[in-house]
Amino acid sequence: MKLFNTLTKKVEEFVPNVEGKVNMYTCGPTVYHFAHIGNLRSYIMEDVLEKVLRYAGYDVKRVMNITDVGHLSSDADTGEDKMLKGAKRENKTVMDIAKFYTDAFFADCAKLNIKTPDVVEPATNCIDAFIEMIEVLLQKGYAYRAGENIYFDTSRLDTYYVFGNQSEEELMVGVREDVTEDENKKNKNDFVLWFTKSKFEDQALKWDSPWGVGYPGWHIECSCISMKHLGEYMDIHCGGIDNMFPHHTNEIAQSEAYLGHKWCNYWFHVHHLNDQSGKMSKSKGEFLTVSLLEQKGYDPLAYRLFCLQSHYRKPLVFSYEALDQAAGTYKKLKKRIQDLERSGAADETAVAQYKEKFVEIVGNDVNTSMGITLLYDVLKADLSGVTKRAIVASYDEVLGLELLKEAVAEAGDVDAELEAYVLGKIEERKVAKKEKNFALADAIRDELLENGIAIKDTREGVVWERI
């Protein structure tokens, strides 16, 4: 396995902390609104990463947080809490909003065949852990109190911009130009670990702390939740490229100051999904959700294929024309696989060889587009239909496209009874040909034609269609 490590800006051989085991963390959603399909591109690609690691034989434990408190509408510790903003928008409680949009997020994930992580932990479950970490950072001199809030002191670090030398102006996402500077900060880059009641008096969720009633900053949750479930050493931390600064930069700062050693070895960042006007967001244009795609007649897995056809480290431009093309490709691909011969035994040697090829190709920095190309190579190969089906089933453990799942019959589609009749006749014809009873074989073909079914012998087996 090889991965591009954002920390070193190189594709590296993946070596976990413990041989054969992978501790993996994913930044989860802030559950104040539906996830748009740009958000979900990251989760699709992180899902593929987890699945290809498992496919390659690793024992993976994956943890995801749910941000239900602390994430402000600006990433610079300014603006309104996103959860409170959602609650006001819908005239509901923050926890009602959190439950509704958490359920909606995982419903979207299910439609996209994204596996639920082994551990999912809401931030509000871990307030005591946040307080404990902040107390240690204060004791070590990495944090300070000002204006009744607790800040992390970035001047104590030898290196703060661990992902590169860019300035915060180049890296910061979602910060409005009209935001007023927090005068409590000693340094411009310092960030809030704990807000007290001195800020946002109408904050809905507040807890007692040694520094007064308040609530945590956004960044502290991922450090604490990952350590709670994965320990002090993490192998892979995932997220969208917009999480790189300030969120992941701040996670590293506070985690390594707290632990006193390196925290995470590999950082995996998925690039943006853009529309033609630029980065996709919830605040502009048509709010593109999985449900909206379904309303427009698209299978969500066609969108998954659309994402897999591109590399995760390249920005991807969405258009309905591009999605139409992916949907057409998906339908043809499933039909081609559905028509593969099903009888007989698979060539297990060939299956093992093609599995090894898949690990080599997709395991090289999650190269899903080349994985799709290899899938087509299998379909063109000089192999029996049943062997091809076995290889496709194996690949689909990672691709997650449900390639062997039978399509639900629509108006005008073949019903189950007709399909059983046709497949039975094809099997009878196969036996007749094997016994060199060609007259019977021809009679079966003619019978099918009289019933509006045309059959064709191919290298991959017998295929049929209604005429």
Upstream peptide bond of 246 is cis (omega within 30 degrees of 0): yes
3-class DSSP state of 297:
coil
Range of the domain at 462: 416-466
Q: Which of 366, 399, 432 is the last residue of a domain?
A: 399
Q: Which of 223, 242, 270 is the last residue of a domain?
A: 270
Verify that 67 and 195 share a domain, yes or no: yes
Strands 149-152 and 191-196 come out as antiparallel
Verify that 38 and 185 share a domain, yes or no: yes
Verify that 434 and 332 share a domain, yes or no: no
Verify that 330 and 421 share a domain, yes or no: no
Identify whether 408 is part of a domain.
no
Verify that 19 and 140 share a domain, yes or no: yes
Identify whether 341 is part of a domain.
yes
Please give the Cα distance from 101 to 199 (Å, whole number): 26
Q: Which of 373, 399, 425 is the last residue of a domain?
A: 399
Identify whether 278 is part of a domain.
no
Verify that 230 and 330 share a domain, yes or no: no
Verify that 420 and 395 share a domain, yes or no: no
Residue tagged 């898949």 (tokens) = 358
Please give the Cα distance from 108 to 110 (Å, whole number): 5
Distances, alpha carbon 106 to alpha carbons 66, 99, 308, 341, 456, in Å: 11, 11, 20, 36, 43
Number of domains observed in the structure of the chain? 3
Verify that 144 and 188 share a domain, yes or no: yes
Verify that 27 and 150 share a domain, yes or no: yes
Identify whether 285 is part of a domain.
no
Kindly give the confidence (pLDDT) of every residue in the chain, 467 residues in length, as a single tens digit, with 9 standing for 90 and above: 999 999 999 999 999 999 999 999 999 999 999 999 999 999 999 999 999 999 999 999 999 999 998 777 766 677 777 877 788 888 888 889 999 999 999 999 999 999 999 999 999 999 999 999 999 999 999 999 998 899 999 999 999 999 985 554 444 443 433 345 678 899 999 999 999 876 656 677 889 999 999 999 999 999 999 999 999 999 999 999 999 999 999 999 999 999 999 999 999 999 999 886 666 665 555 679 999 999 999 999 999 999 999 999 999 999 999 999 999 999 999 999 999 988 889 999 999 999 999 999 999 999 999 999 999 999 999 999 999 999 999 999 999 999 998 754 443 455 667 878 888 889 899 888 888 898 898 899 888 888 888 888 776 678 787 76
Please give the Cα distance from 302 to 265 (Å, whole number): 33
Please give the Cα distance from 295 to 256 (Å, whole number): 46
Identify whether 411 is part of a domain.
no
Per-residue pLDDT, 417? 75
Model confidence, pTM:
0.84
Decide: 219 and 247 in contact? Cβ < 8 Å.
Answer: yes
Verify that 33 and 160 share a domain, yes or no: yes
Please give the Cα distance from 171 to 244 (Å, whole number): 8
**Helices of type H across 159-210:** 168-171
| Residue 46 DSSP label | H
CATH of the domain at 34: 3.40.50.620
Give the CA radius of gyration of the chain. 27
Identify whether 202 is part of a domain.
yes
Closest CA to 159 of 266, 252, 260, 255: 252
Identify whether 409 is part of a domain.
no
